[in-house]
Structure 1
Amino acid sequence: MNILYRFINWRRNIRLSFEEDVIKRSVIRSAVLLLGIIIAHVYLMTRFEAFSWQDALWLTLTTLSTTGYGDISATTLAGKTATALLLYLGGIFILAKAAGDYFEYRANIRAKKIQGHWEWHMSGHILVINTPSQQGSQFFVRLLRHIKHSGLSAQTVQILTRKFPDGLPSPLSRMPGLVHYTGSGTCPNDLLAVNAQQAKYIVILAEQEDDRDSDSRTFDVLYRLQ
């Protein structure tokens, strides 16, 4: 069962990383194309309209951002044609695409954080491994309140658990300083993802108190943390 989970977790991470890489490449490609259009238009305005490079850049940016103050504009046929082709047809389209890719990238990151697939690269945090099978949310609410009143409120708490694959429930999601990662303490890759070696405190919970194998799994996690 644990091997199956590791395989599913590996496939999930590969898919999420691939999607993120695709969005990143699209954003970078759009940014490079946009920069090329800006440079080309500035150059053409200095040639066709005899503008200084400062005025040419001002015209390019105000046109590209659709602000259009009108204080500077192309007057020659060549200048108007270059502006129409490069900025109106090319630049604004690429700018919109780059903005869309960026917002998609941010939305993808937010979804990964909510679903517990984001690696926070923490250090000095409190790591809690596993979730009680009964009333897990209420347990963490009480635990976080205890941490807050014990003088450890400055430390961020990260939960390593499979219990919340769709996001933390509302009582926990509203609590500041709490994040989670969807995984298992018996998986070495998941322990690396939560920076277990850099955690200041590690709390290992029994998922089921009456499970006779609970202690053996706890010792397995302790062994992996060494």
Structure 2
Amino acid sequence: MKFLVAMSRPSRRGHLQSTTRLIRTLRRTATWIVCVLALHILAMIIFEGMVPFDALWLTATTVMTVGYGDLSAATVPGRISTMVLMYMGGIYVLAKAVGDYTDYRAQMANEKARGSWRWNMRGHLLIIGQPVGNAEQYFIRLTDQIRAHESWIDIPILLLTEVFRNRRLPSSLADRGIALWTGNPTEIQSLEAVTPADARAVVVLAESGTDSAADAGVFDTVDRIRGAGFVGPIVAECVDQLNRSRLMRAGATTVIRSVHGFPEMAARALVAPGAERLVENLFTAEGDECRRYELPEIWHGTWTELTLRLVTAEIGIPLGYADPEGCIHSNPVGRAIEARAIFVIVHDRHQASAQVQIARLLRG
């Protein structure tokens, strides 16, 4: 899977200074090596009487430690020049430069894993906050569900959270191309580091699934993101549904219940805006409700026929059924079925009489 992730400068001032020092060191090293090589070429021309190309060939094979043996220094001054210039002044310095660069790459990889590397992303999905419980599994399920949608397959994902502070980003998330910034959205530096204005979409998680005080933190984060110039969709979690309108006024485009055990809710809100309200209704007893109705006898027929009967009679909309063995099947379009019970979305005014109506409608 390809992810459009680009890296920029290190995150904090100390890291930026480290990068600057490395660049300066590499530049000085490169200049030093060029001078050493030029002097060795000149020494081979003067002491060994080589033509310029042969001197260049000998210098190149020596510094790369290849040593074909077709050319070599024969005079004492030539050999001394090779030992001083190439062995001490060239190969050692080149090896040290390679070592410095390798150390820098290792440091960079460590900073990325610990969430202290600043990513310069564009068109990414920004997920802010920390779910209650197993955060690793929550983020896995959430991101997998989002990327399962055809228009979000290659979306780069960046987490702004403190849940992995003092430890590394789990490999299960890193292997999915998920990047991490360890910080709090109330910190200006942290919010700037995740470039919210350049994101494609933002998901803001509440720090609690039951404490309505968490809504204040979500409100503040949404307001800050809009203040940073972000104009895309923001999916925000809300504990107290009375705060839903306040979050919408703050700039959230979609507000969902804080259900940290069900990250698929946030995924639906992102890839199919509005679907989350339908899913929420299935969890409540108000208005339309998904109910199970036992049938007086096993019903044989097609799913299309069963659906048409219930919809035409204005009883409700079937979602699935239980077969004689008790296995649950969801919307088996085009299939012949044997149903022992059916699951139907029924409006509250029909719920009391639906059992009788369904039994009469599907009998025989």
Which TM class, normalised by the smaller chain length? 0.7 to 0.9
**TM-score when normalising by structure 2:** 0.55
Q: d(CA) in 1 for partners of 2:118 and 2:55?
A: 44
Aligned twin of 2:134 = 135
Residues 154-198 of structure 1 show CA distances to partners (whole Å, capped at 9, x for unaligned) of: 111110111113222243233x23111112222222222112111
Q: Is the 8 A contact 1:155 1:177 kept in 2?
A: no
Query: Residue deviations 1:116-175, cap 9 Å, x none?
Result: 11222110111101111322111111101211212212111110111113222243233x
**Offset from partner CA, 1:47-86 (integer Å, 9 cap, x none):** 2223233221211121112111111112222221111110
* 2:155 paired residue number: 155
For residue 181 of structure 2, what is the aligned residue in structure 1?
Answer: 181
- Confirm or deny that 1:204 pairs with 2:193: no
Equivalent residue pairs, number: 214
Match of 2:99 in 1: 100
Once residues 65 and 191 of structure 1 are traced to their aligned partners in structure 2, the CA distance between those partners, rounded to angstroms, is 46
Compare relative contact order (CA 8 Å, sep 6+) and give the higher one, 1 or 2.
1
Provide, for residues 195-215 of structure 1, a one-character-per-residue CA deviation record: whole Å limited to 9, x for no partner: 211100111111222333311
Find out whether 1:31 has 2:54 as its counterpart: no
- The amino acid that maps onto 2:80 is T
What is the TM-score when the length of structure 1 is the normalising length? 0.87
CA–CA separation in structure 1 for the residues paired with 2:24 and 2:168: 27
Pairing of 1:105-124 with structure 2 (within 5 A): 105-124=104-123
Distance 2:186 2:52 in 1: 61
Q: Is the 2:147–2:155 Cα contact (8 Å) retained in structure 1?
A: no
Q: Distance in 1 between matches of 2:53 and 2:216?
A: 71
Tell whether 2:179 aligns with 1:193.
no
Whether the 8 Å CA contact 1:129–1:160 is kept in 2: the answer is yes
Residue 70 of structure 2 corresponds to 71
Q: Corresponding residue for 1:216?
A: 216
Counterparts of 2:161 and 2:137 in 1: how far apart (Å)? 15
Distance 2:206 2:53 in 1: 66
The structure that is strand-richer by fraction is: 2
Matched, 1:167 2:129: no
C-alpha separation in 2, matches of 1:87 and 1:144: 53
* Partner Cα separation in structure 1 for residue 33 and residue 213 of structure 2: 59
User: How many angstroms does 1:105 deviate by?
Assistant: 1.1
Secondary structure, in 3 states, of the residue corresponding to 1:181? strand
Which amino acid in structure 2 is aligned with residue 120 of structure 1?
A: W
Does the CA contact (< 8 Å) of 1:30 and 1:97 recur in 2?
no
Tell me which structure has the larger Cα radius of gyration.
2
- The 2-side partners of 1:216 and 1:105 are apart by 41
Residue 47 (structure 1) aligns with:
46
Report the AA paired with residue 218 of structure 1: V
The alignment partner of 1:128 has SS state of strand
Aligned AA for 1:177? G
Q: Whole-Å Cα distance in 2 between the matches of residues 203 and 39 of structure 1?
A: 58
Other-structure match for 1:5 = none
Q: Which runs of 5+ in 1 are unaligned?
A: 1-11
Give aligned-pair identity as a percent: 37
Equivalent AA in structure 1 for residue 182 of structure 2: T
Q: Does 1:145 align with 2:180?
A: no
**Aligned match of 2:246:** none
Is the 1:123–1:199 Cα contact (8 Å) retained in structure 2?
A: yes
Q: Following the alignment from structure 2 to structure 1, what is the Cα–Cα distance between the partners of residues 137 and 107?
A: 29
> Does structure 1 retain, via aligned residues, the 8 Å contact 2:126–2:203?
yes
Deviates more, 1:89-98 or 1:51-60: 51-60
Structure 2 residue identity aligned to 1:154: D
Answer whether contact 1:130 1:206 (CA < 8 A) is retained.
yes
Tell me which protein shows more helix as a share of its residues. Answer: 1
Quote the Cα distance in structure 1 between the aligned partners of 2:188 and 2:111: 20
RMSD: 1.8
